[in-house]
Structure 1
């Protein structure tokens, strides 16, 4: 198993060029086709005096939006530089989450930014929504990270469907790693069950010719996300693998605490699957 196609979101955030370099490096590592993708959403309809008004963009506005997307495409190719790998560019006049979630059907791995995003709902991409909608593993890249060599990988384990999906999706990274550890944050009295989970995980990975160097069960004095981020720092982790937990409520995505913390504050790349 490998990643044959890697898709990277090209946006207006400060970390965009570094994220492209991360995706490019992974493309070299996995001999993958690289797809750059960008989008700009039009103004939505609005209600006025009991009527729905939808002017849509004017011809000049549409031309300006398309020109800006073209500049992002040129930026994508310039940041990549010369390459022998297949490269594609995709752009659309629609909201970024919609475009990336749809286009994810063409990718094995989707690379997006992490942390605070620009306050522009028409051009900025919400990474959490992509995790929950793409149906593909999503690699979140925090600002300041411009390379990913997955030597030390941490599996944030929880005995759920999402964590199992993330583990399977991360196998190409796990095969590349020099050291793999697993961490389960458990409640008081849950140590035995957590250790049994990690023992099963170790046996499963061994059958994939992956050695689990350490299985750690721990209690979190505060939030589970804080504990995971702390261990990642102590173990000098390059990549965290975790399930992405959330649901939609009244049109907004509500995330579990650990997922929210990893999306917002993890200083390293995270592979999240839902």
Structure 2
């Protein structure tokens, strides 16, 4: 994992994901690309002449320049390799475009301008579905990422879980303990092809020893069960395959991915 794509935005989680990016960069001797995307598409009802947009552009530009100066000053004092990439346009589009030559994308849990919302980040979901690199969602409560801390891999035997597992191998190799956790339900049927034992053998080939655990669901939601299991094992990160059902079903009915993204308690590595 040598190339990190970090979303730059002036939100309450920026410091957290910057710190996590630096922790990974130090552990993997990786390079951080700080991507700051600025959109001037300001919607103002009735502003047919564009007066509101014209007035907003200097303020948006000034705020972007101030943020860049602050973060560059911080990075200048750190022992990590980095560069700055400033682009115009929607952040999700620019991150997706730049992701082709990066090994991981680091974003926050909220969409731009949606802080305080309890809903999941649409940008994180879209990137997870469309980008060729895994997405690491970092909540603002995180002070640093201990790459040696235990990691919980949510395992349901699906192809999405397998993709996430493969994507996480460079980080799993740094962890002192890896848990392959399956949530057992009473009405489980053998729907998927890959048992946890096969996933564990895959990891062994990469030098990663994993402990297979089966967690009873009880009456809680799977997202809650996974979060509690990770907390009980003092995990520093959760790895999971995203959107195992159709995206429409996830949006209408709710799903594990959607719930986990709504209020993440620890960094979550997602892949599809």
Deviation readout 1:11-50 (Å, 9 max, x if unpaired): 12111112111111111111111111122322268998xx
- Which residue pairs with 2:144 in the alignment? 147
Aligned-pair distance for 1:214?
A: 3.1
Deviation readout 1:153-176 (Å, 9 max, x if unpaired): 111012222111100100011100
**Residues in 2 aligned to 1:187 and 1:257: alpha-carbon distance in whole angstroms:** 15
Deviation readout 1:113-134 (Å, 9 max, x if unpaired): 12586338xxx98322222232
SS of the residue 1:201 aligns to: helix
Over 3 Å counting, the alpha-carbon distance change for 1:168 and 1:255 in structure 2 is: farther
SS of the residue 1:24 aligns to: helix
When structure 1 is superposed on structure 2, of 264-273 and 182-191 the one drifting more is 182-191
2:160–2:241: 8 Å Cα contact kept in structure 1? yes
**2:269 aligned with 1:271:** yes
Structure 2: gaps (5+ residues): 116-120
2:134–2:270: 8 Å Cα contact kept in structure 1? yes
Over 3 Å counting, the alpha-carbon distance change for 1:162 and 1:107 in structure 2 is: same
1:36–1:89: 8 Å Cα contact kept in structure 2? yes
**2:99 aligned with 1:101:** no
1:45–1:54: 8 Å Cα contact kept in structure 2? no
* Structure having the larger proportion of residues in strand: 1
Q: How does 1:115-154 map to 2 (within 5 A)?
A: 118-119=113-114, 126-150=123-147, 151-154=149-152
What TM-score do the two structures reach when normalised by structure 1?
A: 0.83
Over 3 Å counting, the alpha-carbon distance change for 1:6 and 1:54 in structure 2 is: farther
**Residues in 2 aligned to 1:166 and 1:255: alpha-carbon distance in whole angstroms:** 23
**Residues in 2 aligned to 1:253 and 1:210: alpha-carbon distance in whole angstroms:** 35
Structure 1: gaps (5+ residues): none
Q: How many residues align?
A: 264
Deviation readout 1:134-164 (Å, 9 max, x if unpaired): 2211111111102111320111012222111
**Residues in 2 aligned to 1:117 and 1:222: alpha-carbon distance in whole angstroms:** 31
RMSD: 3.2
Aligned equivalent of 1:177, options 175, 182, 198? 175
**Residues in 2 aligned to 1:261 and 1:115: alpha-carbon distance in whole angstroms:** 13
**Residues in 2 aligned to 1:234 and 1:256: alpha-carbon distance in whole angstroms:** 25
Aligned equivalent of 2:238, options 234, 237, 240? 240
SS of the residue 2:195 aligns to: helix
Aligned-pair distance for 1:210?
A: 1.0
Q: How does 1:9-88 map to 2 (within 5 A)?
A: 9-43=7-41, 55=50, 61-88=56-83
Aligned-pair distance for 1:240?
A: 0.5
- Which residue pairs with 2:118 in the alignment? none
Over 3 Å counting, the alpha-carbon distance change for 1:116 and 1:99 in structure 2 is: closer
SS of the residue 1:170 aligns to: helix
- Which residue pairs with 1:166 in the alignment? 164
1:223–1:257: 8 Å Cα contact kept in structure 2? no
Q: How does 1:212-227 map to 2 (within 5 A)?
A: 212-227=210-225
